């Protein structure tokens, strides 16, 4: 059957060039139904160790290939020693950027190799496009990108024709910079000039594992690995080596199985990524003193690898998980350790890793947030913490009270606000005196809050006598739970203070209430903590004078906007009581003020604007 007929029948990807290019091997995957057009190519790249299958004997041909995976596949067109040597020599200069852009440890050698070989550009934009920073998911590759990566990986950029043209139906969707790369792969027989069954290339469509296998298989003959294998000199007899054994501990990052071979990648205890490939039959797998199946290995397991003369011969799964219960004594973020005191073992030190999980009251929690002296249950393999849990019934927070309602309180500690629900029988103390209502604490008070579970059971307020003389009222806030005023003291500092029904307010020696206070009033305030006990005012406004040229007049929101001589833009807000007049003293309406008029305003400065009591317009 002709190639075009096959493609039209199964809508095979554009990557097919020749169905006879690869011979069939013994390797078989169980999920290639419907992918007959790619089966020989998949078998070829699997046998060559370029693209591996999955532990369940599947290839998952329809899965999308990520940008990082495409770089791994292309890097595998080189001898493994080339990848390892380049990473060893150059990893240090890239490590900061790799960590910044959340490149997984197992992928770092391949990304560094791609950077050094010029497969991808060494730019912040490129590195940032490999992994989604928020979800940590790897970003998929699209067809035209893989074509560009592959040409660079094969070292064929010198053969591209910059004036090349393509004949796909969707040429307009292919970016111009990618055209010469795609055309070169056509000339080399790596991809088809016909496209899919309808003559399209679909340059921005994600590329699948099957499609990539076809490209890599067709391109293999141009690779460094193929050339090195074809030019290797005859093997000379060597003197027998003294056996060299190495034991490496770490966590499994990647497992792949292909026919009779397996590949395991681990992050070792010294934080290095190591990769080993071996025949399944040559590797023994044990757990403790028991031999287990190779299929029992899982990503994330702690293992101990035995390497004899650079060959993987044994995988020992970490020792049995043991439960410990005791009191948390201490933890170290630097050393990544926690210290626990148990009845059976006494003081015991455990190391934790990024894979260790800790829960407090069934919520995932950071190690540094664990309350010391609390009872902790933990599970460990050897001295490595796997998981731990705490049930904390009491906890304490200290800071400034920033809000409260009849059933909740919010406290700010070092800029972090925590809102907690009040228990029905919450106890509230102000200077060691029990009070019967939360309304008797103040916004701005320094307090210590004790919780049982998620509810507040006790609030302790330590309030000292304080006074603010010749302060100015900059804000007044009233709601159903508390009344708050914001004042500016003589040093320019702002304070949030609470006014309740017991606060004494006097204006010109007449006792009154909060409704008589106005923005800009100059006041003397006597408080205990943030609770105001007395406010004394003469009713005078602490006013300022400002001049400038009118830039806008808003008769709806009632303000005149001016630009002062030093360039500041200030709004002069007016009310029905604001006196607006000419230089002659004649009162005028706001609509008589025009752009570019020169005005002088007297009023209370607040929030960068003026609440004007008088506006004088420089007109006759």
pLDDT digits (tens, 9 = 90+) for 257-299: 777 788 888 988 778 888 888 888 788 888 766 778 888 888 8
478-482, 533-537, 554-558: the lowest-pLDDT one? 478-482
CB atoms under 10 Å from CB of 287, counted, come to: 16
- Domain 245-317, CATH number (from 2.120.10.30, 2.40.50.140, 3.20.20.70, 3.40.50.1860): 2.40.50.140
Is 525 in contact with 497 (CB distance < 8 Å)? yes
The more confident residue out of 9 and 46 is: 46
How far apart CA 179 and CA 578 sit, in angstroms, is 71
In the predicted structure, residue 6 carries a pLDDT above the cut 50: no
Tell me which CATH code domain 321-390 carries: 2.40.50.320
CB atoms under 10 Å from CB of 256, counted, come to: 17
How far apart, in Å, do the first and last CA atoms of the chain sit? Answer: 100
In the predicted structure, residue 189 carries a pLDDT above the cut 70: yes
> Is the Cα torsion angle 400, 402, 405, 407 positive or negative in sign?
negative
Q: Of 618, 540, 617, 605, which Cα lies nearest the Cα of 573?
A: 605
In the predicted structure, residue 34 carries a pLDDT above the cut 80: no
Is 246 in contact with 307 (CB distance < 8 Å)? yes
Most confident of 2-6, 344-348, 492-496, 613-617: 613-617
C-alpha of 245 from chain center: 41
Q: What are the C-alpha distances in Å from 17 to residues 4, 195, 216, 422, 609?
A: 10, 10, 12, 72, 73
Q: Of 619, 601, 618, which Cα lies nearest the Cα of 610?
A: 601
* Average pLDDT over every residue of 380-384: 81
Q: Is 114 exposed, middle or buried (0-12, 13-18, 19+ CB in 10 A)?
A: buried
Q: What is the number of residues in the chain?
A: 620
Q: 465 pairs with which residues across the strands?
A: 528
106-120, 191-205, 570-584, 590-604: the lowest-pLDDT one? 191-205
63-72, 156-165, 281-290, 553-562: the lowest-pLDDT one? 281-290
Q: pLDDT exceeding 90 applies to what percent of the chain?
A: 35
> What is the DSSP secondary structure assignment for residue 607, as one 8-state letter?
T
413-422 pLDDT per residue, tens = 877 888 888 8
Angle at 144 between CA 140 and CA 145, to 5 degrees: 50
How far apart CA 197 and CA 185 sit, in angstroms, is 19
Tell me which CATH code domain 465-541 carries: 2.40.50.140
How far apart CA 48 and CA 228 sit, in angstroms, is 14
Using DSSP's 3-state secondary structure scheme, residue 47 falls into helix
In the predicted structure, residue 394 carries a pLDDT above the cut 80: no
In the predicted structure, residue 177 carries a pLDDT above the cut 50: yes
Q: Whole-number mean pLDDT of the chain?
A: 84
Architecture in CATH of 394-461:
Beta Barrel (2.40)
Helices vs. strands in the chain: H and E counts, helices first: 10, 33
Q: What is the pLDDT confidence band of residue 65, given thresholds at 50, 70 and 90?
A: very high
Fold of domain 544-617: OB fold (Dihydrolipoamide Acetyltransferase, E2P) (2.40.50)
Is 21 in contact with 194 (CB distance < 8 Å)? no
Using DSSP's 3-state secondary structure scheme, residue 490 falls into coil
Say if 465-541 and 544-617 have the same CATH topology.
yes
Domain ranges of the chain: 3-227, 245-317, 321-390, 394-461, 465-541, 544-617
How far apart CA 512 and CA 129 sit, in angstroms, is 65
> Is the Cα torsion angle 151, 152, 156, 157 positive or negative in sign?
positive
Q: 545 pairs with which residues across the strands?
A: 602
In the predicted structure, residue 379 carries a pLDDT above the cut 60: yes
């Amino acid at each position: 059957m002709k190639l075009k007929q096959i493609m039209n029948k199964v809508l095979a990807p554009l990557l097919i060039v020749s169905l006879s290019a690869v011979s069939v091997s013994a390797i078989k995957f169980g999920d290639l139904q419907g992918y007959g057009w790619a089966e020989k190519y998949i078998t070829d790249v699997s046998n060559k160790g370029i693209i591996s299958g999955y532990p369940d004997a599947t290839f998952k041909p329809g899965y999308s290939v990520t940008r990082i995976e495409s770089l791994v596949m292309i890097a595998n067109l080189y001898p493994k020693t080339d990848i390892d040597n380049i990473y060893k020599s150059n990893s240090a200069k890239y490590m900061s950027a790799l960590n910044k852009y959340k490149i997984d440890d197992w992928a770092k050698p391949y990304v560094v190799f791609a950077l050094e070989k010029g497969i991808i550009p060494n730019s912040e934009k490129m590195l940032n496009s490999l992994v989604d920073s928020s979800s940590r998911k790897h970003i998929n590759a699209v067809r035209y990108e893989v074509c560009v990566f592959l040409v660079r990986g094969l070292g064929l950029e010198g053969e591209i024709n910059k004036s090349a043209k393509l004949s796909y139906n969707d040429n307009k969707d292919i970016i111009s910079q990618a055209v010469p790369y795609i055309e070169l792969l056509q000339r080399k027989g790596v991809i088809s000039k016909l496209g899919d069954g309808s003559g399209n290339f679909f340059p921005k469509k994600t590329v699948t594992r099957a499609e990539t296998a076809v490209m890599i298989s067709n391109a293999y003959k141009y690779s460094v690995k193929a050339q090195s294998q074809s030019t290797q000199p005859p093997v000379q007899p060597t003197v027998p080596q003294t056996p060299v054994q190495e034991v490496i501990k770490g966590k499994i990052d990647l497992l792949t199985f292909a026919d009779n071979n397996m590949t395991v990648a681990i992050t070792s205890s010294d934080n290095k990524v190591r990769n080993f490939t071996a025949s399944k039959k040559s590797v023994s797998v044990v757990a403790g003193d028991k031999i287990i199946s190779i299929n029992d290995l899982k990503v994330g397991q702690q293992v101990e690898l035995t390497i004899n003369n650079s060959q993987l011969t044994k995988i020992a799964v970490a020792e049995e998980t043991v439960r410990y219960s005791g009191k948390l004594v201490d933890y170290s973020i630097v050393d990544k350790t926690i210290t626990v005191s148990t009845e059976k073992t006494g003081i015991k030190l455990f190391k934790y890793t990024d894979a260790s999980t800790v829960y407090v009251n069934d919520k995932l929690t950071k190690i540094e947030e664990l309350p010391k002296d609390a009872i902790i249950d933990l599970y460990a393999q050897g001295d490595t913490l796997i998981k731990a849990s705490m049930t904390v019934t009491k906890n304490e927070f200290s800071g400034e009270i920033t809000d409260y309602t009849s059933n909740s309180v919010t406290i700010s500690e070092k800029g972090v606000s925590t809102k907690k629900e009040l228990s029905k029988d919450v106890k509230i103390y102000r200077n060691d005196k029990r009070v019967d209502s939360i309304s008797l604490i103040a916004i701005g008070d320094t307090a210590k809050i004790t919780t049982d579970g998620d509810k507040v059971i006790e609030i302790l307020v330590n309030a000292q006598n304080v006074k603010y003389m010749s302060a100015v009222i900059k804000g007044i806030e009233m709601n159903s739970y508390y009344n708050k005023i914001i004042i500016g003291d003589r040093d320019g500092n702002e304070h949030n203070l609470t006014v309740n029904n017991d606060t004494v307010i006097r204006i010109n020696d007449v006792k009154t209430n909060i409704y008589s206070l106005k923005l800009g009033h100059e006041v003397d305030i006597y408080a205990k903590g943030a609770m105001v006990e007395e406010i004394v005012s003469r009713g005078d406004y602490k006013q300022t004078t400002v001049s400038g040229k009118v830039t806008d007049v808003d008769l709806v929101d009632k303000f005149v906007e001016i630009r002062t001589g030093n360039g500041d833009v200030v709004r002069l807000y007016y009310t029905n009581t604001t006196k607006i007049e000419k230089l002659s003293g004649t009162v005028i309406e706001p609509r008589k003020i025009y752009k570019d008029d020169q005005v002088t305003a007297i009023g209370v400065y607040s929030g960068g604007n003026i609440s004007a009591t008088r506006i004088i317009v420089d007109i006759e």
